[in-house]
Structure 1
């Protein structure tokens, strides 16, 4: 029995108790199992999608190719102009260096004071070490320029509540395939489809390097992680 079936069972037991006495657990379980037969799921085709199988289950997947391609709006050279990524260089020192004609980090590799760390920063950029570059003060725009559109995913989720124990019924992802932007909607029509949806989402995210969300650090991503744990229990 899934977590959500158990929650539904508890709710029905409480309602039965309030109505005059608890109903047998067996009858409730039987009722829950019979529910799909009384209320069949809408075919994915009627929702503009297709049946998608993952982790031994299925869910409704709707995909649409957008007319415009997903263009990364930031240059891959932007980060090289941020001299403050080098330890010891602040706004005043950066302004002074630029007045001297030093515009990019590579022009400091032979500097007697900043040369060693300039080479370290260039190495971090070459290896796309976003976490360390972020710690040094790199902005989102500078870091995003290091990745191609195919490595970026836009993600949003829709749930029935703010806690991971509450159902997740829709995930939206925007990716790039063969230079075309593809909008995907992963729809769980029933509690039992969540596990397949989550498995498909995990596989899709493995193919990307950067996730862009709205409030994703505080809600979307923690929710997905915790919900995966509950779904696997």
Structure 2
């Protein structure tokens, strides 16, 4: 696969090739106009059949079980001391340590129930640590393009999700600024309720709060 540096990649040929053409013309077979109570927008759709999936979500469970710091009153020093004595994971801690056993049991119960909301309240548990709580069909891949970095319109929301063995890509495109509200309505009512977790690049700091602010602007609610 070819790679291009930001300084050497020349887009002139593409500008000349597609100058004056509309998205409807370029993607005749995989675009449609979506209408809802807030207006309309364009949706572009691709389906990748038999998409190879190497996500190993369950691996995060093993990592979490080995993290003794998730237990109350255990920091790095105590964790190292316990592991030097043969306490390797939360199960060992539950059965072989009277002082911390009951606290380990509560964490193990949350892991068993896959209670990712409660687990995320623990400061030693990161977002990726609770990946085992989800199936690949629970994941919504998300990215946005905006006209600015603050309080500007969203012009494109890129989404993707697994549908059995296939992977679907859905781009929601605002052809005019007035169509942004229709995209937000579609995302709020028809897309987000189907999924439990976001997969983004820097989305926790930018994409997710940005979309949330647009929801608050239009609907006075944040379903994110």
When normalised by structure 2's length, the TM-score is 0.73
Q: What are the Cα deviations for residues 95-124 of structure 1, in whole angstroms up to 9, with x where unaligned?
A: 333333332212222321011101111122
1:95 to 2:80 alignment? yes
- 1:217 match: 204
**Residues 30 and 46 of structure 2 are in contact (CA less than 8 Å); yes or no, is this contact kept in structure 1?**
no
1:55 to 2:40 alignment? no
- Of 97, 104, 121, the match for 1:118: 104
Matches of 1:101 and 1:51, distance apart in 2: 62
**Residues 146 and 156 of structure 2 are in contact (CA less than 8 Å); yes or no, is this contact kept in structure 1?**
yes
Superposed counterparts of 1:188-203, under 5 Å: 188-202=174-188, 203=190
Flag structure 1 segments of 5+ consecutive residues without an equivalent.
1-40
- Of 167, 171, 178, the match for 2:164: 178
Cα shift at 1:86:
0.7
Superposed counterparts of 1:65-144, under 5 Å: 65-67=47-49, 68-74=51-57, 75=59, 76-110=61-95, 111-134=97-120, 135-144=122-131
- 1:30 match: none
Q: What are the Cα deviations for residues 5-53 of structure 1, in whole angstroms up to 9, with x where unaligned?
A: xxxxxxxxxxxxxxxxxxxxxxxxxxxxxxxxxxxx8648548412223
- 1:64 match: 46
Paired residue secondary structure (2:130): helix
Cα shift at 1:85:
0.7
- Change in CA separation of 1:213 and 1:225 when aligned onto 2, cut-off 3 Å: same
> How many pairs were matched up?
192
CA RMSD in angstroms comes to: 2.6
Flag structure 2 segments of 5+ consecutive residues without an equivalent.
1-21
Matches of 1:57 and 1:70, distance apart in 2: 36
**Residues 140 and 197 of structure 2 are in contact (CA less than 8 Å); yes or no, is this contact kept in structure 1?**
yes
- Of 192, 200, 217, the match for 1:230: 217
- Of 144, 147, 151, the match for 1:160: 147
Matches of 1:231 and 1:140, distance apart in 2: 29
Matches of 1:206 and 1:95, distance apart in 2: 42
Structure whose alpha-carbon radius of gyration is higher: 1
More helix by percentage:
1
Query: Stretches of 4+ moved more than 4 A in 1?
Result: 41-45
- Change in CA separation of 1:160 and 1:216 when aligned onto 2, cut-off 3 Å: same
